[in-house]
Amino acid sequence: MNLKLSDLRKEPKSLELFQKGKKTTPYGVHSNYRLTDPYPLYGRKGVGSKVWDVDENEYLDFNMGFGALVVGHAHPLIVQAISEQISGGTILGLEFEKSVELSKVIQERFNVDMVRFSSTGMEATTNAVRFARAHTGRNKIMKFEGCYHGGNDHILVSVKPKPGREGSPQHPIPVPASLGTPRDTLKNTLVAPFNDLEAVREIAEANADDFAGIILEPIPMNMGVILPQKGFLEGLREICDQYNSVLIFDEVKTCGKYYGGASERFHVTPDLKCMGKAIGGGFALSAVAGKKEIMEEIVPGVVSHAGTFNSNPLVITAGLVTLTRILSRTAMTGLAKLGQTLAAGYNDIVKDEGLPAIVSSDSLSGALAFAPSPIMNWRDFQKSDIGRWSLYYLMMLNRGIIPAGTGPDEQWTLSVQHTQEDVEKHLETFKEIAPALREFQPQMAIVEAI
């Protein structure tokens, strides 16, 4: 067969823009994770649960800005509030009056003492690591293999380490995720396997004199959706207490998956929380929040925290509307039920069609992995059939469904603007392509499978 993958896509204007974009932008995209083979989609607009590309193809969107749009696209309440605010300025160079109100909302909703706002998730995790080191006077931070916490050199480590480089499963070797990372930074980064409490204890004990803390996604969402085993988060809490270290939950994603975040979901309280994505309702809002004794150390000349766009009027306005008028507990509960419907439908189709796949889900997010057994950590994820997943993504896309984020390590996200009909359409499409996914062989080219 002489077909190329590009022949099977129906977005000529996206391809044209990509070819032009590569002349002005490295890799042709402004985030490496947006590239899909053989070219990325270029979008024109999003409304409700749908997006349109530059070729006017319509898609039901279950990516939702990589989890940032639990409010959905262009929510009317946010559009109205931002339209009213923008005439009063987008940045004042002063503290915005409503930042106090939003801080109080976050304080009560997420059970934290104090809050500092920033713009991106990466800023939040970078700041949280700094705060932990300042509070303890120590240097070493433990993170988990396969987890992504943004572009901070100290934790952009062992995100997607290749087989053969990562060391033993119980004692992974820190592997920089990018060229340009100073080797000296790795000496202060400890890497552990997720869901292996005994390994965490051993690594912490071996570095007890300089152990500042642990940062983790309570539910890793850069390996699909991996739930912590019973007692794992509680064990991390005990270890940090034992060594007087700081437990940091990176809830940039999970703060928008549950009304009170993952700490409410699992009844484990970290010392610091990093939040972002969904709390901004589509605007660049993030926060570090946590215990008063740590947060009060953030003062000029002691612990640095700054940002020109921190708590600007637009993001604060969007955050207030999002958390007080849209993502209520009632709305989040209903959304979780819709998520259960989607996950149950996936499980039924996988079983009925005999697909070699695993469905993992919780609340409004889930993931499909073509793996031989449940995924509990990064080493398990590496056993996934990436080719089969890529076929799944392409076939869904060509039928008007963006099923998840743009990679096998991503997940689907439902928004409050998704409907039962949207979920049924998603499942009908998955069922339609299931036979082709079942018959796909690893040695086959995707174009042959289609």
304 with 288: CB under 8 angstroms? no
pLDDT of 3? 43
The pair of structure tokens assigned to 139 is 């240097």
Starting at the edge strand that comes first in sequence, how are the strands of the sheet with 50-53 ordered?
Answer: 43-47, 50-53, 58-61, 401-402
DSSP letter at 258? S
Residues 275 and 138 both lie in one domain: yes
Which amino acid would we find at residue 406? T
pLDDT of 1? 36
Which amino acid would we find at residue 170? Q
| Residue among 42, 148, 243, 393 flagged as catalytic | 148
Residues 353 and 436 both lie in one domain: yes
| Helix runs in 182-312, H state only | 197-206, 232-242, 261-266, 292-295
Residues 336 and 311 both lie in one domain: no
| Residue among 250, 271, 362, 422 flagged as catalytic | 250
Rounded CA separation 22/26 (Å): 6
| Residue among 39, 257, 277, 392 flagged as catalytic | 277
Residues 303 and 380 both lie in one domain: no
Closest-CA residue to 39 (of 51, 29, 24, 54): 29
In total, how many domains does the chain have?
2
Does the active-site annotation cover 348?
Answer: no
| Domain final residue pick, 305, 326, 347 | 326
Rounded CA separation 52/38 (Å): 19
Residues 133 and 244 both lie in one domain: yes
Residues 427 and 315 both lie in one domain: no
143 with 220: CB under 8 angstroms? no
Give the CA dihedral 127, 129, 130, 134, nearest 10 degrees. Answer: 140
The pair of structure tokens assigned to 388 is 């089969």
Residues 232 and 347 both lie in one domain: no
Residues 128 and 266 both lie in one domain: yes
Domain that holds residue 360: 5-70+328-449
Residues 89 and 61 both lie in one domain: no
Residues 300 and 393 both lie in one domain: no
| The residue count for the chain | 450
Buried b vs exposed e over 129-147: b needs ≥16 C-beta within 10 Å? Answer: bbbbbbbbebebbbbbbbb
| Domain final residue pick, 273, 295, 326 | 326
For 22-76, the DSSP string reads: TTTSGGGSSSGGG--SS----EEEEEBTEEEETT--EEEESSHHHHT-TT-BT-H
Give the CA dihedral 314, 319, 325, 329, nearest 10 degrees. Answer: 170
DSSP letter at 7? G
The CATH number of the domain holding residue 85 is 3.40.640.10
Residues 286 and 389 both lie in one domain: no
pLDDT of 82? 98
The CATH number of the domain holding residue 347 is 3.90.1150.10
365 with 411: CB under 8 angstroms? yes
User: Digits of tens for pLDDT over the chain (450 positions)?
Assistant: 344 555 467 789 999 999 999 999 998 899 888 888 788 899 999 999 999 999 999 999 999 999 999 999 999 999 999 999 999 999 999 999 999 999 999 999 999 999 999 999 999 999 999 999 999 999 999 999 999 999 989 899 999 888 888 889 999 999 999 999 888 889 999 999 999 999 999 999 999 999 999 999 999 999 999 999 999 999 999 999 999 999 999 999 999 999 999 999 999 999 999 999 999 999 999 999 999 999 999 999 999 999 999 999 999 999 999 999 999 999 999 999 999 999 999 999 999 999 999 999 999 999 999 999 999 999 999 999 999 999 999 999 999 999 999 999 999 999 999 999 999 999 999 999 999 999 988 766 555 555
**Beta bridge partners of residue 248, listed in sequence order:** 215, 272
DSSP letter at 103? H
| Domain final residue pick, 306, 326, 346 | 326
Residues 177 and 287 both lie in one domain: yes
Does the active-site annotation cover 277?
Answer: yes
